[in-house]
Structure 1
Amino acid sequence: MGARGGGGRRDAARREEHLRRWSQAHGGLEPSPGPVRWWLEGVRRVAEPLVRARTSPDALTAAGLVLALAALWPAAQGGRAALLVPVLLAASALADGLDGAVAVLSGRASRRGAVLDAVADRVADAAGLAVLWLLGAPATPVLVAAGAGALHEYARARAQAEGMAGAGAITVSERPTRVAVAALFPLGCGLHPPVAAPWATGGAVAAAVLALAGLAQLLRAVHRQLGPPPAQP
């Protein structure tokens, strides 16, 4: 009992330390209870053996990027091959979560690594939208989603540089949402190849609507935090 209790305390301490370091690495953002914390806890448990194996966070970043780009091939093939797209994008998202967890847990988080991770994420986002286009979605909603998504990330980074605290707002178009859209609609394409184009179009339209809504949410948060102070009476 005592040994198990001690192990539980150590595990709880590691969990809290991971959350604390994750918050520091994300501009003071506190992970909300529920799915975010569950995800972080799951990632931490997978990351700990990688930390002991001295896995490089940059190697995980590169693996996530390669997996996202690899999803373009089955998308270009179409048909049942599209079933590989969600597998590859899910693996890419896991690698993306693991690189940050390994960096935080091993004390190897750095500004250079954060920049590399952000660049890899933007390329992976573009790959996820390109998948929908290759599966038959028209270019217009794909380009709208890409442009609004890029503005979302640029506006947040610029606002943080100007003093905005944390993420400003957790919007409907954060990266997990983008990955989910890019993975789930190609799943429909692979399960129902004769109607792949409508599935892909639905995914592109959903991505565009969510990207525009998320951008609007973020800009409102930026205005609240960085807008002009109220006039003095």
Structure 2
Amino acid sequence: MLSRDEYLAAWSRWHGDTDPADSRWVHGWLTLAYTLAVPLARLSPLVATALGLVVAGAAVGPAAAGGGWLVVCGLLIGLSGLLDSLDGALAIAGGRASRRGFVLDSAVDRLTEVAYALAFWVAGAPGWLAVAFGALCWLPDYLRARAGQAGVSETGAISVWERPTRVVMSAFGLGGAGVVALLGIEVGGHDVVAVLVTAGAAVGCLLGVVGTTQLGVQLRRALGEETPAG
């Protein structure tokens, strides 16, 4: 098992030499994943990947139930995010990382984000806002992948809309609305829970736009002024 510093260095190599120290938030998230991985070193990364996807899908049910069930939804989303980070930590720190696993993990990440967007929708957020939220979860990684195909080896500095932020925004946006429902808070007869769910999705979209813009500026600089082929 690699040490924590060795794990962070290896993670950086697998992610285009992105330095996790550029963001205390991402650095802390990866450190938590490594801490969880150490006692579970014998667990297969594929098991953690599969569990993460199952748990994310399971969060949609409590979201549809609404009310206090949204707390359960938020907890399941947070757990799915931890499982996602755990599989990477198990693979990298345990010396079992592979290109196939890297691609599979990325694909599962996108599927879990579909579940997050769906949870926002069934919990009361407008359909167009939930779609926008999901699209902005996908767009940064799509841009990085396309830039890589164009020959860009760097992935750019860490933005405000990385995977940990998406998980936490989803978990708190939905789980926080559930807490309000359990407390029975009402404002002028309005459905406060639906308002909070919509606000959570809207804040996520705002962060998504900012983060994608940050990434776009960095990739534009890396790509130069060349006209893309095709």
TM bucket by the smaller chain? Answer: 0.7 to 0.9
- Deviation (angstroms), 1:151: 2.1
Gaps of 5+ in 2: 182-190
Is residue 16 from structure 1 mapped to residue 5 from structure 2 by the alignment?
Answer: yes
Q: Which structure 2 residues correspond to residues 79-90 of structure 1 after superposition, within 5 A? A: 79-90=67-78
2:8 corresponds to which letter in structure 1?
L
Q: Which structure 2 residues correspond to residues 45-84 of structure 1 after superposition, within 5 A? A: 45-51=35-41, 54-84=42-72
Q: Which structure 2 residues correspond to residues 35-46 of structure 1 after superposition, within 5 A? A: 35-46=25-36
Coordinate RMSD, CA, aligned: 1.8
- Deviation (angstroms), 1:43: 2.0
Q: Which has the larger radius of gyration?
A: 1
1:132 to 120, 145, 167: 120
Partners of 1:111 and 1:204 in 2: CA distance? 33
Specify the alignment match of 1:27 in structure 2: 16
Partners of 1:116 and 1:159 in 2: CA distance? 19
2:213 corresponds to which letter in structure 1?
A
Specify the alignment match of 1:205 in structure 2: 202
Contact 1:80 1:190 in 2 (8 A): yes
Is residue 220 from structure 1 mapped to residue 209 from structure 2 by the alignment?
Answer: no
Shift in CA distance, 196/95, structure 1 to aligned 2, threshold 3 Å: same
Partners of 2:212 and 2:3 in 1: CA distance? 35
1:188 corresponds to which letter in structure 2?
G
Divergent runs of 4+, >4 A: none
Partners of 2:7 and 2:159 in 1: CA distance? 23
Contact 1:189 1:196 in 2 (8 A): yes
For residues 111-141 of structure 1, give each alpha carbon's deviation from its aligned partner in whole angstroms, at most 9, with x where no partner exists. 1111111111011111111111111111122
For residues 66-122 of structure 1, give each alpha carbon's deviation from its aligned partner in whole angstroms, at most 9, with x where no partner exists. 111110010011111111011111111111111011001221101111111111101
For residues 136-190 of structure 1, give each alpha carbon's deviation from its aligned partner in whole angstroms, at most 9, with x where no partner exists. 1111221122223322211111112222233213222111111111111112321
Partners of 2:153 and 2:110 in 1: CA distance? 22
2:34 corresponds to which letter in structure 1?
R
- TM-score normalised by length of structure 1: 0.86
- Deviation (angstroms), 1:222: 0.8
Partners of 1:224 and 1:150 in 2: CA distance? 21
Shift in CA distance, 92/129, structure 1 to aligned 2, threshold 3 Å: same
Q: Which structure 2 residues correspond to residues 37-186 of structure 1 after superposition, within 5 A? A: 37-51=27-41, 54-186=42-174
Q: How many residues align?
A: 216
Contact 1:173 1:214 in 2 (8 A): yes
Other structure's SS at 2:195 match: helix
1:217 corresponds to which letter in structure 2?
Q
1:197 corresponds to which letter in structure 2?
A
1:106 corresponds to which letter in structure 2?
G
- TM-score normalised by length of structure 2: 0.87
- The percentage of aligned residue pairs carrying the same residue is 41
1:30 corresponds to which letter in structure 2?
D
Gaps of 5+ in 1: 1-10
